Amino acid sequence: MIVMKFGGTSVENDTAINRVADIVLGRLEERPVVVVSAIAGVTDALQAMSNAAASGSLPEALKLLRKVRQQYLAVLSVLASRAGEAAVRQEVQALLDSTQDVLRGISVLGELTARSTDNILAVGELLSSRIVSAALAERGIDSVLVDSRHCIVTDASHTRAVPLFDRTSDRLRSHIKPLLQANQVPVMGGFIGATTEGVPTTLGRGGSDFSAAIIGAALHARRIEIWTDVEGMMTTDPRLCPQAQRIEVIGFDEASELAFFGAKVLHPATLIPAVEKNIPVHVLDSRHPESQGTCIRARAQRSRTVFRAIAAKAGISVINVKSPRMLMAHGFLRSLFEAFDRHGCAADLVSTSEVSVSVALDSSRDVAALVNDLQKLGEVEVEDGKAIICLVGKHIRGRAGIAASVFSTVAAAHVNVHMISQGASEINISFVVEEQDVPQTVQRLHRHFFEPTGQDGPTVIRSVTTRSPVPVLVAQASARPEAG
């Protein structure tokens, strides 16, 4: 069997849902389980209306709900048969009516608990799965709507519930297997589950990918497909460098490394249940279903190029702490990082010398209080407007000349490098530059390492001695994973 998960933009209107039906039709022999997100933007709207209701603006909340109602009723035009449409319309209306009651309740209490948030957020996926299941049936597919709240069993940490894997696997096997054996196509909402007592929960934003991985792992899927609205993962951000190429295969660890830099096609951490079972995960474009997309696997083939991808993250500040006391003093770094910890600031990159430490971190953190604290340790200087560039590739460690090749390429662009780190993760080389230098640096590096016909000449690995090649992934700078 396989799992096919369709994200918010893949179900956003009747055209998109028809495409989903075509794609599923082409895979029937592989016995798919279909998992769907809410329509793009709907989970945000559901969250916004819950907040509005709790903060005394019930009219605002109801207005947002009307919009969601219109959106879902509009996609019902995908259902050609009158009888089918009437039945689904009634169910959709009933679900939205009860959502309206919950919103009124929240507004009366003036309080939004995580539990009622989950009650409302679940509605997006409940509606989409209902409609997609009906749409597949209209196209002659023997589809069966399966309520994910009966299958995905979680703890009670609402809005970011943790699945109880054993129970979930048991339930999935007993609910889903018989359907597959009867050649039926189960359709489930992603993102949602319920506690053992049956109280609805959600798995955290973007959680539909997680659902797909859980289902795939429980049912020993041969493959998991994540259908979205991008070509796949790219060797770099195409907006920075039009020569960016689709990555065909990438290692899970490389993908994880890049995710941190904004490669938000999906969050690799959500794929862990699948990766642990060695199930390949394919990221595919529902608008171009013939394209091969990107395959993420636990052990990916070595790439032909030195690196799998180049990622960049702007909006970085560098904090330099200089202290003669640091010389020979143990405990200095501990005090330094304790200060970061106290202020909830995570370091993205660190480099140290005998008398100074430089730490790169996200500029969006308010560092004033942190700086104040750090001044007890030494002289502190903050530089804003920086960016981290990160080259990811599994097999760079222990190979001569790679760092030299990176930095001579950067130097040729007359770009000044502020901090360097060759990751302990063994799979990346990262450095800090001025924000405005990012495009030309990335373009140069991409030409050098990825474009075999580029003037700088290709850097292709010829002799490789290693056993398990691993792929890398690229940063695609969308603000966050596709949200349903």
Residue 43 interacting partner from Mg ion, ligand ASP, none (CB closer than 5 to 8 Å by kind): ligand ASP
83 vs 479, beta carbon nearer ligand ASP = 479
Residues 190-229 that bind ligand ASP (CB under 6 A): 190-191, 205-208
CA dist list (Å): 234 to 198, 268, 270, 410 = 41, 15, 19, 21
195 vs 202, beta carbon nearer ligand ASP = 202
CA distance 484 to 481: 9
Phi/psi for 99 (5° steps) reads -65, -40
Pairing of β 249-251 and β 294-297:
parallel
CA dist list (Å): 317 to 120, 347, 429 = 38, 10, 19
Cβ-based neighbour number of residue 385 at 10 Å:
13
373 vs 482, beta carbon nearer Mg ion = 482
**Residues touching ligand ASP, count (CB under 6 A):** 14
Sign of the C-alpha dihedral, residues 25, 26, 32, 36?
Answer: negative
Residue 207 interacting partner from ligand ASP, Mg ion, none (CB closer than 5 to 8 Å by kind): ligand ASP
Q: Which tokens is 114 given?
A: 């995580």
CA distance 433 to 311: 13
Residues 204-243 that bind Mg ion (CB under 5 A): 206
CB of 208 to ligand ASP, least distance (A): 3
186 binds ligand ASP (CB under 6 A): no
264 vs 446, beta carbon nearer Mg ion = 264
37 vs 99, beta carbon nearer ligand ASP = 37
The window from 35-43, 284-292, 356-364, 443-451 that contacts ligand ASP (CB under 6 A) reads 35-43
482 binds Mg ion (CB under 5 A): yes
The window from 3-11, 68-76, 162-170, 231-239 that contacts Mg ion (CB under 5 A) reads 3-11
CA distance 151 to 191: 12
**Residues touching Mg ion, count (CB under 5 A):** 4
CA distance 191 to 201: 9
Name the strand (E) or helix (H) holding 318: strand 309-322
163 binds ligand ASP (CB under 6 A): no
Residues 17-56 that bind Mg ion (CB under 5 A): none
Inter-helix orientation angle 82-109/58-75, to 10°: 170
Q: Which tokens is 111 given?
A: 């309080």
Q: Where are the alpha helices (DSSP H) in 268-325?
A: 272-276
205 vs 264, beta carbon nearer ligand ASP = 205
Name the strand (E) or helix (H) holding 12: none
CB of 129 to ligand ASP, least distance (A): 11
Residue type at position 364: S
Name the strand (E) or helix (H) holding 305: none
9 binds ligand ASP (CB under 6 A): no
Residue with tokens 């005998």: 354
CB of 11 to ligand ASP, least distance (A): 10
Q: Which tokens is 295 given?
A: 């395959």
Residue from 10, 43, 50, 443 touching ligand ASP (CB under 6 A): that is 43
138 binds Mg ion (CB under 5 A): no
Residue 38 interacting partner from Mg ion, ligand ASP, none (CB closer than 5 to 8 Å by kind): ligand ASP
Q: Which chain residues interact with Mg ion by CB under 5 A? A: 7, 206, 481-482
Q: Which chain residues interact with ligand ASP by CB under 6 A? A: 7-8, 37-38, 43, 124, 190-191, 205-208, 483-484
